[in-house]
Amino acid sequence: MANHVRYDELTPVQKAAVVLVALGKEASAQVLQKMSESEVEQLTVEIANLRDIPAETEEEVLRECHQILLAREYLLEGGFDYARDLLEQALGRPRAEEILARLEGSLRTTGFRKLQNIDPRQLASFVRGEHPQTIALILTQLRPHQAAVLLSDLTAELQADVALRVATMEKISPEVLSQVEQVLERQFDTGPAGEVSVSGGAKQIAEILNLMEIQSERRILKSVEGENPELATQIKNLMFVFEDIVHLDDRWVQRLLKEIPTRDLAIALKAASEELKAKLFANLSERVVGLISEEMEFMGPMRLSDVEAGQQRIVEAVRRLEEEGQIVIAGRGNKEHVIV
The predicted-structure confidence for 267-283, as pLDDT tens digits, reads as follows: 999 888 999 999 999 99
Ordered by where they begin, the domains of the chain are: 7-107 (no CATH), 110-238 (1.10.220.30), 242-323 (1.10.220.30)
**Cβ atoms < 10 Å from Cβ of 52:** 10
Q: Are 270 and 302 in contact (CB under 8 A)?
A: yes
pLDDT at 49: 77
Give the DSSP letter of residue 115: G
Which residue type occupies 49? Answer: N
pLDDT tens sequence for the chain (340 residues): 445 667 777 888 888 888 888 888 888 888 887 777 777 778 887 888 777 788 888 888 888 888 888 887 776 666 667 778 888 888 888 888 888 777 765 554 445 555 666 777 777 777 777 888 888 888 887 777 788 888 888 888 888 899 988 888 766 655 666 666 666 665 555 443 333 344 567 877 887 887 777 778 888 888 888 888 888 888 877 777 788 898 888 998 999 999 999 899 999 998 889 999 999 999 999 999 999 999 988 888 888 888 888 888 898 888 788 777 788 665 433 333 333 2
In contact, 313 and 264? CB cutoff 8 Å: yes
Strand residue runs (E) in the chain: none
Distance CA 8, CA 46 (A): 16
Is 277 within 8 Å of 306 (Cβ atoms)? no
The pLDDT assigned to 26 comes to 81
Q: Which long-range contacts (CB under 8 A, 24 or more apart) does 116-123 make?
A: 116/141, 116/142, 116/143, 116/146, 118/188, 120/146, 120/147, 120/149, 120/150, 120/153, 121/149, 121/150, 121/153, 123/150
**Which sign, positive or negative, has the C-alpha torsion 216, 222, 226, 231?**
positive
- DSSP annotation of 338: P
Rounded Cα–Cα distance for residues 291 and 273 (Å): 19
